[in-house]
Each structure stands twice: as structure tokens, then as C-alpha cells.
Amino acid sequence: LSHNVPVPSLGDDMILVKTAAVSVNPVDTKMVGGYVTPGSIAGCDFAGKVVAIGSAVKSIAIGDRVCGAVMGMNPLQPDVGAFAN
């Protein structure tokens, strides 16, 4: 595990959530071996508070409590994952 990962830059249609809780989804348990993308963040399911929003986000505000799912260990977006600190 890496604890020195920078906060990712925020796309116009993205939000940044300070994670309060995560779950270990069955998908997370299968992300081993050949599925691991070095340097990527694992985890799919999360809940927390919105701390930043992209310029195109209109229906969510900073401070909102949210839950959702992302595709952790994604080689196309390695800095997106629910298990981020």
C-alpha cells in the first residue's frame, strides 16, 4: 500500500469526496494478480462528504454527504478508487 499518493486533479464533471466509510465489495477481492494496475487505488464502494466539485457539477454541493461506486484499480484512471485516504 502507498500512503504518499497526491490528491488527483479534478475534472469538470467530477467531485472529490473525503471518504468516511468503504465496503469490501466482491469485485475488490478479485482485484489481484493480473488485474492489479501498479500505482492505482483500489476500492469500489464508498461514502463520505464532498470537499470539492468540478465546474460542470450542478446537482451536488460541497459539504453534501454522498455514497457511490467507482471502478478502483482502473488502468485508465489509476487515481480514482474508494480506498483512497
Q: What is the pLDDT of residue 8?
A: 80
pLDDT at 46: 94
Please state, rounded to an integer, the average pLDDT across all residues of the chain.
Answer: 88
Domain ranges of the chain: 1-85
The CATH homologous superfamily to which domain 1-85 belongs is: Medium-chain alcohol dehydrogenases, catalytic domain (3.90.180.10)
Q: How many CB atoms lie within 10 A of CB 82?
A: 25
Banded pLDDT at 1 (limits 50, 70, 90): low
- Rounded CA-CA distance 8/39 in Å is 13
